[in-house]
Every structure is written in structure tokens, then in C-alpha cells.
Amino acid sequence: MPASEYRIVASTRRKELKTRLWMAGVLGAIAYMVAPGWTPAVWYAAVLLTQLIDVIVFAPARASDDDWRPSPGFRIAAIASALITTLVYSASGAYMWLYGGEVGKLFAMMQFAGGLLHVCLHMHPRRDILLAAMLAHGGYLLGMPIYEAFAQARPVMAVAAVAGVLYLAHLAVAVRQSSETNRALREAERESREAAVRAEKASAAKSEFLAVISHEIRTPMNAVISAANLLRPTRLTRAQREHVRMLSEAGDILMGLLNDVLDFSKIEAGKMELESIVFDPREKLEALGRMWRPRAEAKGVALELEIAADLPTAVRGDALRLQQILFNLLSNAVKFTDQGTIRVEARWAEDMLSVVVRDSGCGIAADRLDHIFASFEQADAGTTRRYGGTGLGLAISQRLAQLMGGGLTVSSTPGQGSTFTLQARLSAAEPVEAETVMAPAVEVESLDGLRILAAEDHPVNQRILSLLLEPMGCRLTLASNGAEAAALAESAVFDVIVLDMQMPVMDGLDAARRIRAQTGPNAGAPIIALTANALDNHRQAWAEVDAFAFLTKPIDPQALAATLGAARGSARAAKSVWQAA
């Protein structure tokens, strides 16, 4: 790469300019002391001038990028400048040689040798420039003794020239070796850069694969869970009810796993974005206590909750993600504790929420403590057999806590229990009712005769929609993609439009935009978004097309019925209601 070779030479020359000028001052002073006169001063001025020209000549190379191609003019100017600067620089040595007596000669030889060493070290990436500089210094090194041998008739001086040749030979070997070492280094550097890029690509491909697979599994999983939900209220024998319960539970566990894998791949890909809403942390903690206390007590373990009095009642942050972390910590505490107490303490200091979850469970061995936050790591191999889990929960929780400007740490004594400390930066806020509303508190109206247009590409999900809606008296028209739905909305009249997000041909968002742009009867119809992708940016995108509500899959029959009722009730609701499943 000529560009980088020139750049290295040019920037090293620039970097060492000060040292060269300073050294030239010392050399000039010594030359003056050894052989007083005007010459050293004139020489120093010449050094200044030639060094200045050199800085200007090499400027394009210093500012170059890798695509830069040196012009023939630049190449010649660079070689000429290197030759002239070195010729001028070493001229003080020639002066010393000629007028400084034996000491001057000795000093001059050392100066020429030093100059050669100097240029070899910093010009070796460009052979042509190096040769020009060596020619100047080497010319003096060999030329001065030879001149003296002939002109002053002192043949013994030829020995000094031979010493100079030997020195040059040593230098040549050293330069070759250092060039090879440098080339090997550059090669290794290039290879490691390429390896890093390959590793990054592989990791991105893995995350992408995980995201796609978990999404693909979620769709049929939604169908399984929805089917179980549909079965539950029907007439069942005791054994059948038990089977449905197993189906539901297994479905929920699988869904949790899939969500973990999705979260993890999002974090890995740097795509995890946190929401910022106003919520009551106290209420979240108490709800968590209500949820886990019965499960702990069923195992004979007490669950104590202590919330500091100064914990604000309204803070701004990502409530769902905070709950996810706390849920994980409590789920682990309950899972790994068979006796004693689980204690949750929440404190508040300078916009930092600290929650300590302390249990009297089995604890974690010291050598495993560092590993439990790594992905897919469990404290010991028997954990999965005994307790299940993937070892993703803590990895996700810790990264989420870090994204929240805090962290998650652990201390543990095997046999005595573990203490997890969560810290999350949240800002105290004014309580805002609207922002904390998550579910619409709307009267469910009768759905009898409700005309619904639903776009859903998956046949199983289509079937579930009709199984859910038709018994409620809804008149359901199904479209298998967004384009079909938009075409249907042109002519027939519908009370509500339900759109899946990801569909072939045209996705739900595009369909919504197309329907909103129509002049037909449904341009203002309430649109309910239905999706397996509960991402925050999706909510935003749906809000932009003025969707009435946002429901996540698996479809919760009650939530769907309530939302449809609310949609009918408000016809074109003045205010959108957002629901998180």
C-alpha cells in the first residue's frame, strides 16, 4: 500500500522534526566550538529552510487516506527532498571533518553513522526515499575518508572508508530484518482485523438466526396457547382439564424461553431499546410480592418485602424491563430456596433504585459466582435437570440493569443463601395518570353483529380468530395479507379492522397506511394491531398510523373481546387506547 507507506514515513518525519532541529542546534554549536566561523550559522539556516520545504513536500502524504495515489511529481519531490535535507544536515559533519582536526573527524564519522541509523529507522517503509537519504549520509561517510586518502595523500584513511562500508553492510542487514518483522506484524494485524470482522459477522448471523427462529417458533406456539385458551371454558372431564392445564403451562414456559432468546439476541445485536414511562415503583414491588408470596409459602418459605419510606411514588423509566429483572430474581430465589426466608429490600438514593433480594437457599459456589451472569450458564450441570431454566435470565437481567445505568451483582455462601443487588437509575417524576394506564378500562359492549375485517396470513391463526370471534356473534371477513385487506376495505363496510403485523405481500403497517389513505367507508375505522413482535418501535409505528389498540400474541380472548367492544363503543375513538399484553 503506497499510501500507508508514504504516510508512515511522512508522519514520522513530521513527528521528529523538533528533535532534528534541536539536534542541529547542538551540532552547530559543537561545530562552532571546534572550528569557529560563520559557517555553522549559515549551515543552521540552510537546515531550517530545507526542513521547512520537506514539511511542505510531505504534507499531502500526511493528510492522505488509503485510496490516495501519489503522483509521479510527488514521488520525485519526496526523493529529492529526502536527498537534499540529509545532504544539508550532514554537511556540518563535512565541515568538522575538514576544519576540526582529529576530533572533528572522529565526531564527523559518528555523526554520519548516527544519521544513517536515524534514516534507516524511520524511512524503511519506502525504499526509494530511504536510499536517497542513505546516499547522502553514506556519501559523506565513505566520501570524506576517500577524499582525504587521495587529496591529502593519506592512504591510511582508506581504512576508515572500509569501516564505513562494513557499517553500511550491518545497516543493510538490520533494515532487511526490521522490514521483514514489520511486514509480519502488519500481516498479523491485518489477519486479526479480518478475524474480528469475521467473528462479528458470525455473531450477528447467530443473533439474527436466533431472532428469526424464535419468531418462527412463536407463531405456532401462539396457536397452541390460543387453542388451549379456547379449550379451557368448554365442557371437559377432570382428566381433560388437567391435560389442558399442562398444555397451557408448557406453552407459557416455552413462550418465556422464546422471549428470553429474543431479548438476548436483541441485547447482543445492540438493538435493545428501553422505554421511558412514568410509573409507581412501590406498586410494582408490591404486585411482585403478591405474585411470589403464595408460591414461596407453598414451599414453606416466607417472603418479606421492605420498601424504604422515601421511595418516590412516581419515577420515569422502563417499568416492564424493571419488572422483568425483579421477576427473574424472585423466580430464582423461590426456585433455589427450600426453607427460611426470602427478603426483598428496596431503597432510593439520588435517582438510583436499589433492590436487594436475599434468600436462605442453596447458595452458589464461589468459583461459579462469576459465571452465572454469562449467557446459557448455570451454577452446575445438575441445575437444568433439577430446576429447568436456560441460564439466560441473569445474563439478560444484568445487561438490562446496565442499560438502565445501574447493574446487578451477587454475593453468596453455599448452603446459606444468596444476595442479589439490583441498581437502576430512574428519575423521580410527577405522577402522570395517562402514562401509567396500560389496559383500557372500557365496558365490554356486545359484539353481536360486529363486522370485522381481519388480516392474518397463518391458517392456524385464521382458524383461531374465527373460533374466537364467530361464537361471539361477530361477522368475520378474513384476508390473508395486507394487500387483500386493503382491497376489501375499499368496498365493504367494517366496524373494526384487525391487522397482523408481519404478512407476505404487504405487512400490517402498510395495509393500515393504505386504508387510512382511502376515501372509502373504512378510512376512519378503528384498527387493532395484532402481533407477535412486542417491540417498542412497533408500538410507535402503529401509533403513527393512528391504530386504536395494540394486542400481542398469543391472543388473550378476553383482552381481544374487550378491545373489540371498546373499539365498537367508541367507533372512531377520539383517544387511542394502548394495551400491552
Binding positions for ligand ADP, rule: CB under 6 A: 328, 332-333, 336, 359, 361-364, 372, 378-379, 383, 389-395, 418
Minimum separation from the CB atom of position 266 to ligand ADP (A): 17
Write out the E strands in 200-276.
Answer: none
For residue 398, the minimal CB distance to ligand ADP (Å) is: 9
Report, in Å, the least distance between residue 355 CB and ligand ADP. Answer: 14
**Quick one: 118 or 358, whose CB is closer to ligand ADP?**
358
CA torsion sign, 178 to 183 to 187 to 190?
A: positive
Q: How far apart are the first and last CA of the chain?
A: 58
Nearer Cβ to ligand ADP (408/528): 408
How far does Cα 266 stand from its chain's mean position? 10
Residue 571, all three cell numbers: 367507533
Report the nearest approach of ligand ADP to the CB of residue 344 (Å). Answer: 12
Measured from the CB atom, the residue of 130 and 364 that comes closer to ligand ADP is: 364
Shortest CB 478 distance to ligand ADP, Å: 39
Q: Residue 294 or 382: which CB sits closer to ligand ADP?
A: 382
Nearer to ligand ADP, 337 or 462 (CB): 337
With cell 576540526, the residue in question is 100
Least Å distance, CB 413 to ligand ADP, is 11
Contact 463, 476 (CB under 8 A): no
CB of 18 to ligand ADP, least distance (A): 57
> Smaller CB distance to ligand ADP: residue 301 or 362?
362
Contact indicator for 496, 526 with CB cutoff of 8 Å = yes
Helical (H) or strand (E) element with 567 = helix 557-570
DSSP structure class, residue 353: E
Which residues sit opposite 452 in a β-bridge? Answer: 476, 496
CB of 494 to ligand ADP, least distance (A): 44
Tell me whether residue 257 or residue 307 sits nearer to ligand ADP (CB atom): 257
- CB burial class (10 A; 0-12, 13-18, 19+) of residue 398? buried
Contacts of 251 (CB under 8 A, 6+ apart): 221, 224, 225, 228, 554
β pairing state of 496-500 and 527-531: parallel
| Grid cell at residue 434 | 395517562
Give residue for cell 365490554.
Answer: 444
Residue 75, H or E segment: helix 72-99
Cβ atoms of 427 and 471 closer than 8 Å:
no
State in angstroms the smallest separation of the CB of 122 from ligand ADP.
54
**CA distance to 15, 99, 367, per residue, from 7 (Å):** 12, 39, 50
Query: Grid coordinates standing for 413?
Result: 455462601
Q: Which is nearer to ligand ADP, 24 or 330 (CB)?
A: 330
Return the number of the residue (85 or 418) whose C-beta is nearest ligand ADP: 418
CB 421 within 8 A of CB 441: no
- Whole-number minimum distance, CB 362 to ligand ADP, in Å? 5
* Identity of the residue, 359 or 457, whose beta carbon is nearer to ligand ADP in the bound complex: 359
Give the residue at shortest CB distance from ligand ADP. 389
Question: Is the dihedral angle over the CA atoms 181, 182, 186, 187 positive or is it negative?
Answer: negative
Nearest to 89, CA basis, from 155, 23, 160, 175:
23
**Closest CB to ligand ADP among residues 276, 331:** 331
User: Which run of H or E residues covers position 65?
Assistant: none
Considering the complex, what minimum distance in angstroms separates the CB of residue 342 from ligand ADP? 9
Q: How far apart are CA 279 and CA 314, in angstroms?
A: 5
